[in-house]
């Protein structure tokens, strides 16, 4: 076949374009959000990172750690290049890493504010574990830093993305339960000596900030209201050296604008199966393991003689997959997350009031 110069140029260009199409297509299909993991602890290594590995919307592209050997091991496991491993001293350099879109902060509570603000200044979106911070002032500073940098901030309230908790909300909002009158919730565990959570400076407080925040947040998302009044008590029963800096137990009651009353308990001295019960004029909803990584179980009975028995078979790390993918989609679509910084701030404000009622402070 004889081709003139113009025809040859067209065909050659088409051939080159065809060769490049697979790469272009691969890039488009692989528009997953790249996360830099800040802190290699249990929640990041055992839950969030395995979730990202199973995700279709997210990938791990960086690591910040104070333990070089651990960081290299995890980097090899997740395909993170060595030049994307940072120390806490060098983590501001993530600003120059185009593969990193967001950070996942899984550090002790008192470090959340500093590293959220540093990530925001580096131009990276932030997914921060709860509690958001150890003070109301720090929570406000985190929100402001992310606004100034025009990056998104999501607080890791994974239960607000979990199907069983969403089902409970749906039943309440639909009117199936009638008029909600009261909520009871409890969450706690028997803590081991030596945990960083027993250090007031690092944790900010006792079980309220660590696991009680689940019950507090649940009462808020179940009612769809903000409390108007709170009364609380704290105590330490086991004088075995664990609770020299933080309290062992906290109990509080809240009143909501509609008149709904909520009572909550949290502890570091006994195993509580993170649960809640919602009493309505037409029935009752019970959710067991409401706040765990798996094992959610919803039961309900209604005055019309109907009932529900709904175990959730999903296994860990399904919660983290849903939450991570949700945030990734918010970034890709430029949408404000449901549990943005303001959600975390409201819990910090109420936990401050709970402690104040106990005669304590954050």
Phi (first) and psi of residue 244, to 5 degrees: -75, -25
Nearest-CA neighbor of 117 among 131, 130, 132? 132
Whether residue 152 contacts residue 125, with contact meaning beta carbons closer than 8 Å, is answered with: yes
CA distance 355 to 60: 38
Query: Please, are residues 286 and 272 in contact by the beta-carbon 8 Å criterion?
Result: no
> Which DSSP letter does residue 199 get?
-
DSSP 88: T
Phi/psi of residue 283, nearest 5 degrees: 160, -170
> Which structure tokens are listed for 208?
């309220």
The active-site residue, picked from 86, 214, 268, 293, is 214
DSSP string, 129-157: PSS--SSHHHHHHHHHHHHHHT--EEE--
No. of helices (H) and no. of strands (E), the chain: 12, 14
CA distance 78 to 126: 20
Q: Is 214 a catalytic residue?
A: yes
Selection from 200, 318, 212 nearest residue 265 by Cα? 212
The catalytic position among 59, 124, 130, 152 is 130
Check residue 26 and give left, alpha or beta (phi > 0: left; psi -120 to 50: alpha). Answer: alpha
Query: Alpha-carbon distance 104 to 101, whole Å?
Result: 10
Alpha-carbon distance 245 to 243, whole Å? 5
SS3 145: helix
Give the distance from CA 245 to its chain's centroid.
26
Token output for 276: 């809640």
Question: Residue 158 and residue 323: Cα distance in Å, rounded?
Answer: 6
Our answer to whether residue 221 is catalytic in this structure is: no
In sequence order, the β-bridge partners of residue 299 are: 286, 309
Active site residues: 130, 214
């Amino acid at each position: 076949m004889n081709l003139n110069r113009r025809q040859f140029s067209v065909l050659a260009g088409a051939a080159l374009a065809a060769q490049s199409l697979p790469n272009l297509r691969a890039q488009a299909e692989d528009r997953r959000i790249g996360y830099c993991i800040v802190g290699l602890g249990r929640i990041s290594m055992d839950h969030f990172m395995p979730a990202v590995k199973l995700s279709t919307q997210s990938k791990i592209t960086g690591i910040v750690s104070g333990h070089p050997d651990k960081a290299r091991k995890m980097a090899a496991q997740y395909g993170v290049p060595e030049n994307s491993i940072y120390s806490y001293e060098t983590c501001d350099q993530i600003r120059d890493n185009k593969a990193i879109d967001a950070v996942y902060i899984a550090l002790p509570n008192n470090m959340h504010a500093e590293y959220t603000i540093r990530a925001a200044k580096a131009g990276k979106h932030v997914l921060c574990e709860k509690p958001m911070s150890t003070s109301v002032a720090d929570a406000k500073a985190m929100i402001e830093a992310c606004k100034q940098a025009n990056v998104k901030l999501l607080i890791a309230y994974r239960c607000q993305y979990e199907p069983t908790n969403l089902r409970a909300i749906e039943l309440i909002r639909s009117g199936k339960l009638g008029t909600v009158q009261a909520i009871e919730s409890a969450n706690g565990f028997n803590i081991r000596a030596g945990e960083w959570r027993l250090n007031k400076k690092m944790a900010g407080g006792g079980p309220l900030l660590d696991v009680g925040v689940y019950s507090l947040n649940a009462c808020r998302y179940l009612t769809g209201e903000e409390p108007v009044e709170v009364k609380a008590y704290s105590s330490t029963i086991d004088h075995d050296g664990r609770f020299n800096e933080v309290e062992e137990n906290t109990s509080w009651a809240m009143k909501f604008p509609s008149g709904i009353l909520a009572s909550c308990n949290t502890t570091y001295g006994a195993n509580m199966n993170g649960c809640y019960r919602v009493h309505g004029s037409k029935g009752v909803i019970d959710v067991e393991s409401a706040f765990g990584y798996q094992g959610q179980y919803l039961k309900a009975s209604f005055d019309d003689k109907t009932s529900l028995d709904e175990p959730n078979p999903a296994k860990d790390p399904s919660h983290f997959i849903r939450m991570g993918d949700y945030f990734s989609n918010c970034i890709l679509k430029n949408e404000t997350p449901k549990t943005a910084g303001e959600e975390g701030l409201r819990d910090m404000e109420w936990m401050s009031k709970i402690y104040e009622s106990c005669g304590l402070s954050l």
